Amino acid sequence: MEQGLFWAAHEGKVVEVKDILRGNLGLNVNWRNEGENGTTALLRACRHGRDAIVSILLAHPDIDVNQKDDDGYTAFMWACTNGKSVCVRLLLGDSRVEVNEPRNDGSTPLWWAASRGHLDPVRWWIASGRALDLGQPGGKKTDAIGRAREKGNDEVRALLERFKNDAAKTRDGVKKELGING
């Protein structure tokens, strides 16, 4: 059944995921598919932006939200790396998620989001009030701001620079842009 859950999450089959979870009380929701780099259903759902499935899995009492695959990717790392904004928002809303957890090579979710120019995940992260580590990740030559600059991702670079200079003011401005009250 674990492998069935994994593939249903991968393929975005919401009804099948619900049925598997409902019908199997002893199911290991954190099962690692060793043939797929030790990836779990949650990791795969975040990698591919399966928002509804991420929401279902986050509600499961046994889910390990910080479990890593063989390369050290967490669900949050995959969502940030691939610019899956809704998954990022869902994960940011779960206090169990360690948002600055690095990959095996030392790179961080923020470094990857900046590297790939994923503005919306960075905006939601800033708005959430969760910790945002702007430091240089281990093994990398630049921090997230420098990486965004190197890759020509000027909107992300500018936002992170504003945040670095005045986090509270930037957070308030981003919340206003996103229509978040409070």
Give pLDDT tens digits for 100-146.
999 999 999 999 999 999 999 999 999 999 999 888 776 678 899 99
> What's the pLDDT at 24?
80
Task: Give the global pTM.
Answer: 0.95
The tally of domains found in the chain comes to 2
Q: Which of 164, 150, 94 is nearest to 122 (CA)?
A: 164
Q: Out of 37, 56, 84, pick the residue that ends a domain.
A: 84
Mean pLDDT of 149-154: 96
- Residue 49 shares a structural domain with residue 115: no
Q: Provide the residue range defining the domain that includes 70.
A: 1-84
> What's the pLDDT at 31?
96
For the segment 48-75, what is each residue's pLDDT rounded down to a tens digit? 999 999 999 999 999 999 999 999 999 9
Residue 14 has pLDDT above 90, yes or no: yes
- Residue 68 shares a structural domain with residue 106: no
In eight-state DSSP terms, residue 139 is T
- Residue 74 shares a structural domain with residue 30: yes
> What's the pLDDT at 101?
95
> What's the pLDDT at 137?
73
Residue 42 lies in a domain: yes
Q: Which residues contact 164 (CB under 8 A, 6 or more apart)?
A: 134, 145
Written as one letter, the residue type at 103 is R
CA angle 144, 146, 149 (to 5 degrees): 110
- Residue 80 shares a structural domain with residue 103: no
> What's the pLDDT at 47?
97
Intra-chain end-to-end CA distance of the chain, in Å: 43
Percentage of residues of the chain with pLDDT beyond 90: 90
Q: Which of 59, 115, 52 is nearest to 82 (CA)?
A: 115
- Residue 33 shares a structural domain with residue 56: yes
> What's the pLDDT at 25?
78
What would the two tokens of residue 181 be? 């009250």
CA atoms within 13 A on the CB side of 150: 13
Residue 26 has pLDDT above 70, yes or no: yes
> What's the pLDDT at 139?
67
Quote helix, strand, coil % in the chain, to nearest 5: 55, 0, 45
Summary mean pLDDT of the chain: 95
Residue 43 has pLDDT above 90, yes or no: yes
